Amino acid sequence: MANHENNDTFQSEKGIHTDFLEKMTYGDYLQLDTLLDSQKRLSSHHDEMLFIIIHQVSELWLKLIIHEIQAATTAIQNGELQASFKMLARVSKIQSQIIQAWDVLSTLTPAEYMEFRDKLGNASGFQSYQYRLVEFVLGYKTPHIMKIYKKNEDLYHILDEAYRAPGLYDVAIQALAKDGFDINESVLQRDFSLTYEKDETVEAAWLDVYKNKEKYWDLYQLAEKLVDIEDWFQQWRFRHMKTVERIIGHKVGTGGSSGVGYLKKVLDHYFFPELWEIRTKL
C-alpha cells in the first residue's frame, strides 16, 4: 500500500526531471562518486568507517569555517562590519555541528578502537593543516607547527601565507583604531607571524565600547561575534579532550603528542584575551 501511494505521488509530479543523459545531476554537481569513494578502510573492522567519516566531515566543516573567516576578515578590513556579522554568525553555527560530531565518535569504545588504531601509524588529527589554518586566521601562530607540512610545497605556501597575514582579531583591533581609539602603534604595526599578546590600549578600547554600546554598536556586535566564536572553540576543545580521554585514556597520541595532557593545556589559550578580561571590569 505504501509503495502504491509513493508511486501515485511521484506520478502526480509532472514537472520532475528524469532524463539526465545529457544533463548534470545532483551527484555530478557534488562529485559524489569522488566523495563517497574516499572512505578507504585499512582494516576490516566495522567501526573504522565511523572513524574515517567523522574526521572527513569535520575537515569539510573546517574548510567552510576558513572560507567564512577569511571573507569576514576582508570585510572588516574594508569597513563592512555588517557584512562580516553574517559570516561570523555562520562560523558559530558550523562550530556547533563539529562539537556534536564528538557525540557520534564517542559511540566508539576503547576496545573497538584498539582493534584498528595501529593501522593509523603516525597519522593524527594533530597534523590537520585545516585546523592549523583556522588557528592562523584567528591569530594564533605557532612556528614549530610549520615543520609538519614541509613535504608539500603547495600546502606549505598556503599555510605560510596565512601564518604571516593579519588574523581576524588583528583586523578587529585595526577597526578600533579606525574608529578613533588610541591603540599602541606597536600593536597595529606588529609582526603578524607572532601570536598576539594582550595590550592595555586594546583592553581600554573594548571596555569603552562595552560601556558605550549604543555609540559603538557595530564594534560592540563585532566583539560579541568574536566571543561567540571563542566560546564555541573552547567547547570544541573540551569535547575533543573528553572524547579522547574516553576512548584512549591517557595514552600517547598516534602523532606523538601527550594526548589528553596536550589537549588540556590548549584549553587555557585565548584568541581574544581582552574581550574576556573586560568582563571582570565592567
| 94 annotated ligand binder | no
Average of per-residue pLDDT across 97-104: 95
Q: Which comes out higher in pLDDT, residue 220 or 268?
A: 220
Mean per-residue pLDDT of the chain: 91
Residue-level pLDDT at 126: 76
pLDDT at 253 > cutoff 90: no
Q: State phi, psi for 189 to the nearest 5 degrees.
A: -110, 20
CA 248/CA 259 separation, integer angstroms: 9
Residue-level pLDDT at 249: 87
Residue-level pLDDT at 254: 65
C-alpha pair distances (Å), 83 with each of 61, 212, 272: 21, 22, 21
| 54 annotated ligand binder | yes
| 55 annotated ligand binder | yes
Q: Where are the domains of the chain?
A: 46-280
Cell numbers found for residue 184? 599602541
Cell numbers found for residue 239? 569535547
| 9 annotated ligand binder | no
- 10 confidence band (pLDDT: 50, 70, 90): low
Residue located via cell numbers 583604531:
177
Average of per-residue pLDDT across 97-116: 94
Q: What percent of the chain has pLDDT over 90?
A: 72
| 195 annotated ligand binder | no
Per-residue pLDDT tens for 129-166? Answer: 999 999 999 999 887 788 888 888 999 999 999 999 99
Residue-level pLDDT at 2: 55
| 52 annotated ligand binder | yes
CA 165/CA 167 separation, integer angstroms: 6
Whether 176 and 205 have beta carbons less than 8 Å apart is answered as yes
Per-residue pLDDT tens for 232-251? Answer: 999 999 999 999 899 888 88
| 233 annotated ligand binder | no
Per-residue pLDDT tens for 192-247? Answer: 999 899 999 999 999 999 999 999 999 999 999 999 999 999 999 999 999 989 98
Whether 184 and 196 have beta carbons less than 8 Å apart is answered as no
| 117 annotated ligand binder | yes
pLDDT at 55 > cutoff 80: yes
Q: Indicate the CATH number of 46-280 among 2.40.50.140, 3.40.50.150, 1.10.3720.10, 1.20.58.480.
A: 1.20.58.480
| 240 annotated ligand binder | yes
